[in-house]
Amino acid sequence: MATIFEQVSSNPALRVREADLRRLTLPDGAPAGAGWYSLACGTTTPVETHTVAEVWALLSGRGHAQVGEHTHDVEAGDVVVVPSGAVHALTNTGEERLDFVSVWWHPR
């Protein structure tokens, strides 16, 4: 199996409401997706729910995560698990950008 390296900064940034998103390229037909998000101070990802499960790995900054009926303060180094069907959002409550990688997949 070949190893794939990708320089995320070379991917064009998409604007997803208040978040900048750079999608990570996976092999064609991969049953998962991934993206690098960057939230400016005081901004929030869209409040959403979907059929995929998701994991966020926080790289920098601090914020407030909502997953279902639970809310938690989070910071760089934390990992947030979002089950399929859970309402979720992430707010940057810090004084610097909140960067995180999201990986999502369709649960079996």
Give the distance between the most distant pair of CA atoms in the chain: 42
63-100 residue pLDDT tens: 999 999 999 999 999 999 999 999 999 999 999 999 99
Whose CA is closest to 49, among 90, 82, 16? 82
Total of domains in the chain: 1
Q: What is the pTM of this model?
A: 0.76
Q: Is residue 17 part of a domain?
A: yes
How many alpha carbons lie under 13 Å from residue 34 in its C-beta half-sphere? 12
Q: Is residue 71 part of a domain?
A: yes
Q: What is the pLDDT of residue 96?
A: 97
Q: Is residue 3 part of a domain?
A: no
Identify the domain containing residue 89 by its residue range: 12-105
Tell me the two tokens of residue 11: 């991917």
H or E stretch covering 71: strand 70-75
CA–CA distance, 33 with 13 (Å, rounded to integer) = 16
CA–CA distance, 98 with 29 (Å, rounded to integer) = 30
Q: Is residue 48 part of a domain?
A: yes
Q: What is the DSSP letter of 101?
A: E
6-50 residue pLDDT tens: 444 555 554 455 556 566 656 666 778 888 889 999 999 999 999
Q: Is residue 4 part of a domain?
A: no
